[in-house]
Amino acid sequence: MNEDLEYIQFSPIRNYNYAQWFQDVQHNGRVLTGRNQQDYIAVLNNTIDQYSEGLPLLRDALKEHKDQPGEKHRFLETIYSVSLFVVITMTDILVVSKYFMLAEKDYERRLLRGKLSVILNEGFKKLYGFGKTKTTEWSRLSPLMEYYPEGIKVQYQKLTSLLEEQAFSSSWWKKERDCETHQDAEELYESRQEDVIESKVMMDSMKLFDALLAVDHFLTNMHGCWLNYLLDKYKKGELKEE
């Protein structure tokens, strides 16, 4: 391994209440004021910075293990690859949400709401799918579960159940996604005529963001378990630095 393992600490493995990120919150009709908008955009900016700064690190870590022989590289390549998808999609949601909030023209807001719908539909389809999808980012983790302790397996099962329920909780803006991607002018025009309610659009965007956040926490546990396994072997003298 490239790092000096003597100075790396064991990672805490947390038993998250994943259901907290899958609560069905209904829009209450609240209208965001100018101050609410400013505060929300400030939060968005900070979070965008946090996630976007981590993307090069994830990409470098993925490249280090991609297509390398050995179990360690196979595990870490999968974890980093799924993590890259998760963080990019989360960041995209935040960026489009930010510019939706900042948009001054009515047409701009309707356009950005439509593009956000595309991310929500395509993002969840890629993450978990809608029943017919064969290969998803989540399914890539399944073959790795047999090597993990029971606690991680239970977390994976719980998250799978929550994602399965989420998949059929709504249409996931499929109609809007189809209009935005197929560019049928008449259907696209009609789709964008629905009243634009800022707070509702933001709440809709959180449906995918929160699901991705739950998966991100689980991936952190997966990575931590693998790191702890390597550290344990190293400290026992069963693993030498590469």
Q: Of 103, 122, 98, which Cα lies nearest the Cα of 45?
A: 98
CB 221 within 8 A of CB 82: no
Paired tokens of 45? 């900016």
Residue-averaged pLDDT of the chain: 89
User: What digits encode the pLDDT tens for the residues 163-219?
Assistant: 999 999 999 999 999 999 999 899 999 999 999 988 889 889 999 999 999 999 999
User: What digits encode the pLDDT tens for the residues 2-17?
Assistant: 455 566 677 899 999 9
Q: Is 129 left (phi over 0), alpha (psi -120 to 50) or beta?
A: left
Angle at 11 (CA atoms; ends 7, 14), nearest 5 degrees: 165
In this prediction, residue 238 carries a pLDDT of 64
User: What digits encode the pLDDT tens for the residues 4-59?
Assistant: 556 667 789 999 999 999 988 776 666 667 777 888 899 999 999 999 999 999 99
**What's the pTM value of the predicted model, to 2 decimals?**
0.91
**How would residue 241 be classed by pLDDT, with cut points 50, 70 and 90?**
low
**How would residue 133 be classed by pLDDT, with cut points 50, 70 and 90?**
low
The runs of H, that is alpha helices, within the chain are 34-65, 71-102, 106-127, 150-167, 174-182, 185-191, 198-235
